[in-house]
Homo-oligomer: A and B are copies of this chain.
Amino acid sequence: MFLARVVGTVVASRKDPGLEGTKLLVIQPLRPDRTPAGKPLVAVDSVGAGESEEVFYVRGREAALPFLPAEVPTDAAIVGIVDHWNTS
């Protein structure tokens, strides 16, 4: 999983039926020092994250787990909102 900040939203009226009713957020992956790490991506929110919050997200097959038994065709899901992190 990677740390990220919520930086935007995506509106798409034509999409796969499995994505109906999901919230699509644009997130910017972060390094622990909060500098950007790689390109922004679109993730489905599973925890009620909001604009500018710091989160962590899961990629790949696991990104569909929070939504089971619904089969949501996503490869990125926000699975936690960060209170804080500590790094040495």
The reply to whether A75 and B59 contact each other, CB–CB distance below 8 Å, is yes
Q: Is the interface of A mostly helix, strand, loop or mixed?
A: mixed
Residue of B nearest to A77 (CB): B73
Q: How many copies does the complex hold?
A: 5
Q: How far is the CA of A60 from the CA of B85 in the complex (A)?
A: 23
Q: How far is the CA of A83 from the CA of B24 in the complex (A)?
A: 12
Q: For the complex, count residues of A whose C-beta is within 8 A of B.
A: 59
Nearest-neighbour CB distance to chain B for A58, whole angstroms, equals: 5
* Complex A-B: 26 CB contacts under 8 Å: A1-B41, A1-B75, A3-B42, A7-B88, A9-B86, A11-B85, A12-B56, A12-B83, A14-B48, A14-B80, A15-B79, A15-B81, A16-B65, A24-B80, A31-B39, A32-B40, A37-B39, A38-B39, A52-B88, A59-B75, A61-B61, A62-B64, A62-B75, A65-B71, A73-B77, A73-B79
